[in-house]
Amino acid sequence: MSKVGFWRKSLVVVLVVLSLGFAIVAGAAEPEYKWRFGQTSVRASQGESYKLFCELISKYSDGRIQVEFFPDNQLGTLDEIFHAVQDGEVEICGVAPYVNLVPGGMFNWMPWTVETWEECKMAFKRPDGCLYAPMEKAMNEVGMHILFTVSQGSYGVGNNTRPIKTPEDFKNLKMRVSSSLGCVRGLQNMAEGTGMTVETVPWGELYNALSRGVVDGCWSMWPSLVEERHYEVIKYYTSLDWCWDANQVVINKDLWEELPDDLKAAIEKAALEAEAHQYAIQERMAEEFQAFLKDQKNFEIYYPTDEERAAFREKANVLSIWNELCKPWLDKHYPGQNMTEKILAELEANRKLVLSEKAAK
């Protein structure tokens, strides 16, 4: 064979190999599904778990699903992103299920239902946790399926007037509230007869409202006190643990139901790991945030005794709030099953189990 023939043949072989290589790479880079995950404002600690979730979906689906994360209102406001997932224009989002969006979404923020991380994990455990089950039905009702729950822990109450050690300390305060009606009712009941008033202020405007004296106080959490700098505009904070933060990451229900079982299993595996990842971060950071806040000169934390917390809980009149907000929805969606009583009984059983395990250590 001549040198020209040899090089010509070699060039053909090289071109064939390169073509096959490009084809393989191109094929591997082109997923069957390209989705978007929309989210409003995201704290750094949350963002870590959301990004991990997207990466794990790609990993466990062998690259068949690619999810791109769009934080910080890049795809719109909470309402806009929510409706985009409903319509199928966006596939996944993180949602705070206010009742104007999810009529049955009140279960996330009912006062005095979850008080510890252990109780939270039990109540929102898939598929049959006592709060997960009604939340999934509520999400199904608006065209969504829950992938996992995201929690940032307990709520306390803060203000710029005085430490809140008893319900009477709410006297004449103007407190900021949101659209989470269970929390609103609980706060109003705990402060009944004190002259406390409430003012609806968007979460994003709360810092300025506190700094300008538009409101005297609010409910908040350890992450918000530090990462959103509420400690700069609040003097006194009571670690009351009277309400628990919970949001859900959801997917369009029709899309979910159309997926083959192996891809559902891949997403569920990713969701379990991302949820556990987020719980671990938030539990650790709650301790770190408290240590940071204790070092702040103009910020005072009060930790109530069990007896003091019991006084707030009794005055909150939790059963009346459940009967007002939850029972009508539960009776409609679970006719004849006494779901209000069953859920409250399971929540109480969870609490007793956690307390007994804590005492045994």
**Cα 334–chain centre separation:** 25
User: Per-residue pLDDT tens for 295-318?
Assistant: 999 999 999 999 999 999 999 999
pLDDT for position 178: 86
pLDDT for position 13: 45
**Phi and psi at residue 219, in whole multiples of 5°?**
-90, 150
| Architecture of the CATH domain 31-360 | 3-Layer(aba) Sandwich (3.40)
- SS3 for 175? strand
User: Per-residue pLDDT tens for 177-209?
Assistant: 987 889 999 999 999 999 999 999 988 899 999
The candidate with the shortest Cα–Cα distance to 328, out of 111, 143, 110, 104, is: 104
Show the DSSP H helices in the chain as ranges.
3-29, 44-60, 78-87, 117-123, 132-141, 181-190, 206-212, 222-227, 253-258, 261-294, 306-316, 318-321, 327-333, 339-360
pLDDT averaged per 10 residues in sequence order, the chain, 361 residues: 50 45 51 96 85 98 98 93 97 93 93 95 96 98 98 96 98 93 95 97 91 97 93 98 95 98 98 97 95 97 97 97 97 97 97 93 83
Nearest-angstrom CA–CA distance, 94 and 69: 11
What is the pTM assigned to this prediction? 0.87
The domain ranges of the chain are 1-28, 31-360
